[in-house]
């Protein structure tokens, strides 16, 4: 079990016109510093075949960009250094220069901010800014990030260190049954016990409005004020769909982890589904990666076990006799000619998924059923010392201590 857990709380800022201007100027100064640091890094490597680091950049920019808090400037250099580390670890592409639309946040990592009350936050160089304090912060605030959305809304994000006792929740009526979970396009979730949750298809429901807004945008002159206004209108439509989808994912994940003690899922590749032009829109609408991240967060919080299994032939193998019954995607019912077993193809796949749970996870599941809630361990642990989760109000990203997480 981790010694400390970091949760991110996100709140809507309500800055004045003057404060919006100050926030924008700070953001652009950070972006210029990032681009200048990247150019300097490239020149040093081309000239001397050596790279830089955040400490060197801190010294270089020490007397530059005086309108930006020193901690914020250091965080910009740290962000650039992290980008290069990710590139050398072959996790991302080579760092690129950021345009106005690509650089949308800056962070006070240690100081420069202060919560005055549940209505205002004091930011160095900007002033006292109002924000919507819709939920209480439990724990110690570590960092403060200001983020500009594509709809031109400013948000404040607090990274808060929480004690495990204040984070974990174990329902008194928790069911310790194991279940297999199959994600689909027509039916969003099919479970091995026969339960199915339909796909609400939020993108499809708003498709006409989005298409109309895109058509209007294509008729606007590039660089014009009307085009900028139309871009924001289109972004608001996409934002609404994203919020609906995220809320649905949280409700579904919360229901699953409160009902089951072990959840088995397929190790899917959303990128492959998106590359398939026939499934691209539908795969984007269900947002598999986001749902798995949310399920991971909720499962960890409620001490539910989750395991990934090999997805190969889960829909083709008969869950009763084990024979392969080949069928096209259009065939929605599994009918086995060998044993006569008949059921929905997705439910059949979910049964195969739960049957493939590794023995290691089954042992932990047996401890859970016997009333011993032990450490939730991962099959593919991430090497870090801190468990990091983002709350329901944020885009979910999960980083968990090695040997103590899920998925």
- Rg (C-alpha) for the chain, rounded Å, is 24
SS3 annotation, the chain: CCCCEEEEEEEEEECCHHHHHHHHHHHHHHHHHHHHHHHHHHHHHHHHCCCCCHHHHHHHCCCCCCCCCHHHHHHHHHHHHHHHHHHHCCCCCCCCCCCCCCCCEEEECCCCEEECCCCEEEECCCEEEEECCCCCCCCEEEEEEEEECCCCCEEEEEEEEECHHHCCCCCCCCCCCEEEEEECCCEEEEECCCCEEECCCHHHHCHHHHHHHHHHHHCCCCCCHHHHHHHHHHHHHHHHHHHHHHHHHHHHHHHHHHHCCEEEEECCCHHHHHHCCCCHHHHHHHCHHHHHHHHHHHHHHCCCEEEEECCCCCCCECCCCCCECCCCCCCCEEECCCCCCEEEHHHHHHHHHHHCCCHHHHHHHHHHHCCCCCCCCCCCCCCCCCEEEECCCCCCCCECCCCCCCC
End-to-end CA distance of the chain: 15
Q: Which residues pair with 198 in a beta bridge?
A: 187
Q: Name the packing angle between helices 288-301 and 225-259 (round to 10°).
A: 40
CB atoms within 10 A of CB 28: 14
CA-to-CA distance for 108 and 124, rounded, in angstroms?
A: 9
Give the residue extent of every domain in the chain.
Answer: 5-166, 178-200+236-383
What's the CA gap between 358 and 326, in Å, rounded? 25
CA distance 24 to 22: 5
**Which token pair is 112?**
């420069």
Q: 13 pairs with which residues across the strands?
A: 131
Contact, 67 vs 125, CB < 8 A? yes
pLDDT tens-place string over residues 40-72: 999 998 888 888 999 999 999 999 999 999 999
Query: What pLDDT score does 382 carry?
Result: 28
pLDDT tens-digit map of 59-118: 999 999 999 999 999 999 999 999 999 999 999 999 999 999 899 999 999 899 999 988
Crossing angle of helices 70-88 and 17-48, rounded to 10°: 50
Low-confidence ranges of the chain (pLDDT < 70): 1-3, 170-176, 269-280, 367-407
Residues 34/78, Cβ–Cβ less than 8 Å: no
User: Virtual CA dihedral for 54, 142, 388, 258, nearest 10 degrees?
Assistant: -170
CATH 3.40.190 fits 178-200+236-383, yes or no: no
pLDDT for 105 = 96
Pairing type for strands 262-266 and 178-183 reads parallel
Residue 330, pLDDT score: 81
**pTM (two decimals):** 0.76
pLDDT value of position 204:
83
Tokens of residue 36, six digits: 């200048």
């Amino acid at each position: 079990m981790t010694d400390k857990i970091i949760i991110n709380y996100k709140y809507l800022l309500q800055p004045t016109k003057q404060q919006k201007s100050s926030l924008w100027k700070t953001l652009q100064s950070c972006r210029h510093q990032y681009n200048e640091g990247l150019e300097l890094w490239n020149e040093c490597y081309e000239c001397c075949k050596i790279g830089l680091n955040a400490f060197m950049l801190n010294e270089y920019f020490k007397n530059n960009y005086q309108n930006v808090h020193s901690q914020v400037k250091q965080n910009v250099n740290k962000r650039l250094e992290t980008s290069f580390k990710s590139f050398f670890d072959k996790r991302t592409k080579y760092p690129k220069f950021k345009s106005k639309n690509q650089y949308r946040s800056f962070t006070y990592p240690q100081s420069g901010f202060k919560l005055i009350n549940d209505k205002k936050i004091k930011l160095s160089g900007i002033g006292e800014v109002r924000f919507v304090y819709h939920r209480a912060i439990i724990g110690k605030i570590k960092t403060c990030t200001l983020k500009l959305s594509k709809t031109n809304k400013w948000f404040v994000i607090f990274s808060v260190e929480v004690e495990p006792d204040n984070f974990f929740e174990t329902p008194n009526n928790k069911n310790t049954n194991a279940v297999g979970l199959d994600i689909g396009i027509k039916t969003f979730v099919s479970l091995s016990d026969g339960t199915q949750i339909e796909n609400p298809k939020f993108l499809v429901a708003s498709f006409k409005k989005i298409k109309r807004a895109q058509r209007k945008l294509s008729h606007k002159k590039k660089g014009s004020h009307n085009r900028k206004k139309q871009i924001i209108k289109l972004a608001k439509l996409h934002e609404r769909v994203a919020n609906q989808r995220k809320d649905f994912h949280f409700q579904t994940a919360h229901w699953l982890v409160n009902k089951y003690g072990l959840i088995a899922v397929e190790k899917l590749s959303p990128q492959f589904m998106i590359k398939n032009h026939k499934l691209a829109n539908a795969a984007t609408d269900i947002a598999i990666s986001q749902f798995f991240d949310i399920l991971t967060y909720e499962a960890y919080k409620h001490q539910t076990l989750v395991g990934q299994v090999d997805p190969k032939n889960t829909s083709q193998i008969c869950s009763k006799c084990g024979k392969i019954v080949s069928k096209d995607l259009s065939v929605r019912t599994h009918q086995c000619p060998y044993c006569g077993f008949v059921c929905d193809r997705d439910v059949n796949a979910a049964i195969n998924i739960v049957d493939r749970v590794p023995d290691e996870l089954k042992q932990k599941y047996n401890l859970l059923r016997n009333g011993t809630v032990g450490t939730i361990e991962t099959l593919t642990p991430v090497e870090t010392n801190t468990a990091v989760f983002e709350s329901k109000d944020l885009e979910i990203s999960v980083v968990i201590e090695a040997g103590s997480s899920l998925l």
